[in-house]
Amino acid sequence: MSIRYIVGCDGSPASERAAQLAVAHAKSCGAVVTIVHILEWSPYSFLTPEEIEERHKKRNEELARAKEHIVDPVIGSFADAGVELDCTIKFGHVAETLAQIAEESGAEQIFIGRTGHSTLASRIFGSVASTMAQIAPVPCTIVP
């Protein structure tokens, strides 16, 4: 079983620095780096079947956009780094989903940026970084 690192990536400069640090560590020990992007999405159970179908279409469009505009550029920037990279894009609560992915994949460490593309509400009620520091199932490196 190889060493795996998880990098939470939202396209922010801090998440790019987290990816750089993870790749540097991975290169030194032969680890695999999984670039993870989480799209916040809340399910609405009171929607009509037509609305559910429309939301499903929009979800697929959002996944494709996130891969094209956020994940693929990060992976492309490390194409010559000599490190195996893969990606995961999911919907859910960012911190909880990152922790779940880390646990399910057997990751040894999570790398995230201290600040990302967050809203004012997340700054008031708690950021991904502060939540990850509390709930991460493995060591979590928070990169400034």
Residue 115 — φ and ψ, nearest 5°? -125, 145
73-87: per-residue pLDDT in tens? Answer: 999 999 999 999 999
- Residues of the chain short of pLDDT 50, as ranges, are 120-125
19: number of Cβ within 10 Å: 25
Whose CA is closest to 140, among 109, 95, 115?
109
Secondary structure of residue 36 in the 3-state scheme: strand
- For residue 117, what pLDDT is reported? 52
Q: Given its phi and psi angles, is residue 63 left (phi above 0), alpha (psi -120 to 50 degrees) or beta?
A: alpha
**What architecture is domain 4-143?**
3-Layer(aba) Sandwich (3.40)
Q: Of all residues in the chain, what percent carry a pLDDT higher than 90?
A: 64
Domain boundaries, the chain: 4-143
**Quick one: which of 113, 106, 137 has its CA closest to 37?**
113
Give this prediction's pTM.
Answer: 0.85
Whole-number pLDDT of residue 2: 85
